[in-house]
């Protein structure tokens, strides 16, 4: 299909439009107002995030995308309460976030399981910390482990699992505490393409079945379009919101949609925002003359 045949990423069918109307009527779970983050470095001040504003609604799946260094990890760490902000407000269920809390579940790219605990013990850990008795924690942990498809491995240790399986445990562990929002920072970034596709499909399945809002950071365009209801596109230096895109691809998603016109149109828009065409580099004639003075080894022949 050529570009000319693609619809605009802004075109929405009636069904998709209705879905967004309903989505925006749902309660706001996370609200970010005028968020600013500056780092003082020996080289001077770095504005990591400049005047970030957005809202996510209950059971919405939001992807955050942008080039390396645009402040994605800084944003999610502030939302998690792991990093201070310079100014602005972060509200979860209308209450200001001032530090970490069980209302937010985190899944990072690096594997963060306790290596000395089994899968089941890893998932039980937060539940016991929250005051559940051992047998209740065990029952609940088993249900979450089943949800991520790892029942057969509940007594395995992290080193016995593949990368994808470890991330499944991390998701079960985060969900077991029943957070209001799941914050995921490039969780599938270290996985091979095939495992990654499987993990994306599993995460969609989980999201469909439980009451959870997801904020998912990625720099993979296909991943963002496949997963998200809306995509928050950031730009770098300073980290700012470029656009909040309503993905016009119908839900529920399937792998076949990766080639649909709506999908490709959205991906094309992301490409325009994230990889704008390079400005033409002017070649300095004097410099070319100097280069020509360097003898060319005839053995090499023409490069064309």
Contact residues toward ligand ADP (CB under 6 A) are: 39, 41, 46, 48, 66, 68-74
Using CB distances below 5 to 8 A depending on partner kind, what does residue 97 bind out of Mg ion, ligand ADP, none?
A: none
* Cβ proximity to ligand ADP, 104 vs 168, nearer residue: 104
CA dist 200 and 188 (Å) reads 8
Q: Which is nearest to 188 in space by CA: 202, 177, 176?
A: 202
Spatial strand order of the sheet with 61-65 comes to 104-108, 181-185, 213-218, 61-65, 230-235, 240-246
Q: How far is the CB of 131 from ligand ADP (least distance, A)?
A: 34
Using CB distances below 5 to 8 A depending on partner kind, what does residue 114 bind out of ligand ADP, Mg ion, none?
A: none
Q: How far is the CB of 197 from ligand ADP (least distance, A)?
A: 23
Write the interaction track for Mg ion spanning residues 79-118; mark x where CB under 5 A is met and - where it is not.
----------------------------------------
Q: Which is nearest to 192 in space by CA: 226, 215, 164, 167?
A: 164
Q: How far is the CB of 231 from Mg ion (least distance, A)?
A: 16
Work out whether 200 is an interface residue with Mg ion (CB under 5 A): no
* Cβ proximity to ligand ADP, 81 vs 250, nearer residue: 81
Contact set for Mg ion, span 65-84 (CB under 5 A): 72-73
* Cβ proximity to Mg ion, 81 vs 149, nearer residue: 81
Write the interaction track for Mg ion spanning residues 31-70; mark x where CB under 5 A is met and - where it is not.
----------------------------------------
* Cβ proximity to ligand ADP, 97 vs 249, nearer residue: 97
Q: How far is the CB of 293 from ligand ADP (least distance, A)?
A: 40
* Cβ proximity to ligand ADP, 172 vs 184, nearer residue: 184
Size of the site for Mg ion (CB under 5 A): 2
What are the residues whose beta carbons fall under 8 Å from the beta carbon of 66, sequence distance 6 or more?
A: 72, 219, 233, 234, 235, 236, 239, 242, 274
CB neighbour class for 221 (10 Å; exposed up to 12, middle 13-18, buried from 19): buried
CA dist 302 and 297 (Å) reads 10
Q: How far is the CB of 127 from Mg ion (least distance, A)?
A: 29
Point out which residues pair with 234 in neighbouring strands.
241
* Cβ proximity to Mg ion, 73 vs 266, nearer residue: 73
Point out which residues pair with 286 in neighbouring strands.
none
CA dist 204 and 228 (Å) reads 10
Residues that bind Mg ion (CB under 5 A): 72-73
């Amino acid at each position: 299909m050529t570009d000319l045949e693609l619809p605009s990423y802004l075109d929405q069918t009636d069904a998709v439009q209705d879905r967004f109307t309903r989505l925006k009527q749902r309660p706001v779970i996370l609200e970010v107002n005028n968020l600013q983050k500056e780092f003082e470095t020996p080289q001077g001040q770095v504005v990591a995030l400049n005047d970030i504003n957005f809202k996510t609604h209950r059971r919405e799946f939001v992807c955050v995308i942008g080039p390396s260094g645009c402040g994605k990890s800084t944003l999610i760490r502030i939302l998690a309460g792991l990093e201070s902000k310079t100014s602005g407000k972060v509200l979860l269920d209308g209450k200001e976030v001032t530090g970490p809390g069980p209302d937010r579940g985190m899944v990072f790219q690096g594997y963060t399981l306790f290596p000395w605990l089994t899968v089941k013990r890893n998932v039980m850990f937060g539940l016991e910390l929250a005051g559940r008795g051992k047998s209740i924690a065990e029952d609940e942990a088993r249900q979450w482990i089943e949800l991520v498809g790892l029942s057969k491995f509940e007594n395995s240790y992290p080193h016995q699992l593949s990368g994808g399986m470890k991330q499944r445990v991390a998701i079960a562990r985060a969900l077991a505490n029943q957070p209001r929002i799941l914050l995921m920072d490039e969780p599938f970034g270290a996985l091979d393409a095939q495992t990654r596709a499987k993990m994306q499909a599993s995460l969609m399945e989980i999201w469909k079945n439980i009451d959870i809002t997801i904020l998912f950071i990625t720099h993979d365009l296909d991943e963002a379009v496949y997963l998200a209801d809306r995509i928050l596109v950031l730009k770098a230096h300073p980290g700012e919101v470029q656009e909040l895109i309503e993905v016009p691809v119908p839900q529920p998603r399937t792998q076949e949609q990766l080639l649909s016109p709506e999908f490709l149109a959205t991906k094309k828009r992301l490409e325009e925002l994230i990889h704008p065409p390079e400005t033409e580099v002017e070649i300095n004639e004097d410099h070319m003359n100097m280069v020509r003075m360097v003898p060319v080894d005839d053995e090499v022949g023409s490069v064309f």
